[in-house]
Chains A and B, each alone.
Chain A
């Protein structure tokens, strides 16, 4: 119905610019804010955070460690010191609650790159490209662990664009920009949402952590959906939306339970009918009657 309209234009008209971009703006603020906190030290001598996303120490007290890299390190046979273990526990605990791939949408610097590629791809109307299963990332995740075991080193770190970009921005980029550019070009020309949506094992690992997270996006007002398909177009993981949005008749609840959802909230922004909102995984009764019964409590 809106073939000539840009994604989200209907929402802007219906809700105004801010409500049609709220979560996007907040998300960018989070990504850039976290990056700024890391950069304040090396750039201005303001040591709020030391380290990088693999491990960091905030205000000299709060340790945060990346579970994926520590798991690889464990597989090589090294048991880390206390600080790293505390850091991992905090991080895992946090993402267990808010959704694992919140890391992807709200923290990871590569998301800025791949989102830019996705945006440009849409703008330029580039269609098609290579097809790979979205399960590939879990295979690659398994591969990284296998490599760690076989080589006894953190082999994936030699090519991991996530840590390369983040570490590079803070400690000196060197030629890491080439790898980042490669990811951009890959997403732009070769595969739609190729890196984050199909291949990245970091995102896959965080996705697994978020399998049971209470905080989820939910299509509470799904009966208001007018099939504009903007949410499908804007979502980096469109497969996660279909069933909760469309399969009410089959008894599927409205909550997006798939752990690939990164809780980015773009679908919330872009929907002119306000079908989506953040909610709890447990408010997932299939019929609206069920929701109505559960709500007054």
Chain B
């Protein structure tokens, strides 16, 4: 009786060696691969959209209220490469790349930190938003309302409440 063993053996011989000599030979990820995210420091406005959406808290934010600095921090050690940050970033500052080799001897290599200057509220003097964020929002706000952007949320709502009550008066 013919045994299938010979055929299997032939097939195996025909296949030959397929293992790549990685890491001594490069392996490339295909286009559209969701690899290491990186933040473009020039483009980030510190809006925190990515921080809010990130499922595993790989992105976080820290505000230095004394010096008026906002830090957006990406820690790759927690990243699951889902790409949600890229979906929501209004300025295309954060994007996933095709890079996947993240191992490093220094854990600092796994952090990306953007430091952004904040602006003070014109009324209460509290730091409330990054300068870039205000400039970015200003583009989409009618000219006459732009001064309101120079106020923190609280003061702004007080002021606009006043406007409204005046109007009702």
Q: Is chain B a partner of chain A in the same complex? A: no
